[in-house]
A and B are shown apart, each in its own frame.
Chain A
Amino acid sequence: NAGVMQNPRHLVRRRGQEARLRCSPVKGHSHVYWYRQLPEEGLKFMVYLQKENIIDESGMPKERFSAEFPKEGPSILRIQQVVRGDSAAYFCASSSPDTQYFGPGTRLTVL
């Protein structure tokens, strides 16, 4: 992992609460991707952002999920009114032109 930071590493929320997941890309990278991984499954693409722009959100659920990558600061994945099915590992990646480097992930548990 070439320096992608994610926090928190573990997040516990009760149903109906909000979850905010943060991702700081490798210094100098301006492209960020979010993926979700359910237990025993592969990673599923959610959203691709550049600074201040959403490039591809084809993998985002239509409701409750949003993402941003502001000019300053980390990228944020926000899940409103969490449900038990949102429990998963969420990984962020940033890219040099040809390679995505992944962070350690945030494990979200919804009680």
Chain B
Amino acid sequence: LAKTTQPISMDSYEGQEVNITCSHNNIATNDYITWYQQFPSQGPRFIIQGYKTKVTNEVASLFIPADRKSSTLSLPRVSLSDTAVYYCLGHGSGNTGKLIFGQGTTLQVKP
């Protein structure tokens, strides 16, 4: 399981693009990178997952450079409702067991 490092907190304003970078220097060759969002008193919500290059869905984009030692979650035009904790995780493919959650990044979006 890859050990990940991400900023503890970030501030942004409504309408801005937010980029949260995660470092995972010891990621294994076959590991995926997955991002979750968690609101207070709720379970983590899957945002996006990738292996390499760029992945985009209706919520976010995920950029993974060729060396895969880091990844960047990009949230376009954030709103107040995007205020949450964002977790980056590296993990094996298939049903390979536990996820190791760090402290995550607390994103505060201001009006």
Contact = CB atoms under 8 A, between A and B. Distances in A.
Contact of A105 (B36, B43, B49, B101): B43
Nearest to A91: B43
Interface stretch (B20-28, B55-63, B64-72, B89-97): B89-97
Interface string A68-111: 00000000000000000000010101010111111111010000
A42 B93 contact: no
Q: How large is the interface on B (under 10, 10 to 19, 20 to 34, 35 or more residues)?
A: 20 to 34
Contacts of A58: 98
Interface in B34-50: 34, 36, 41-46, 49
A102 B44 contact: yes
A93 B102 CA distance: 17
A91 B101 CA distance: 13
B5 to A, nearest CB: 13
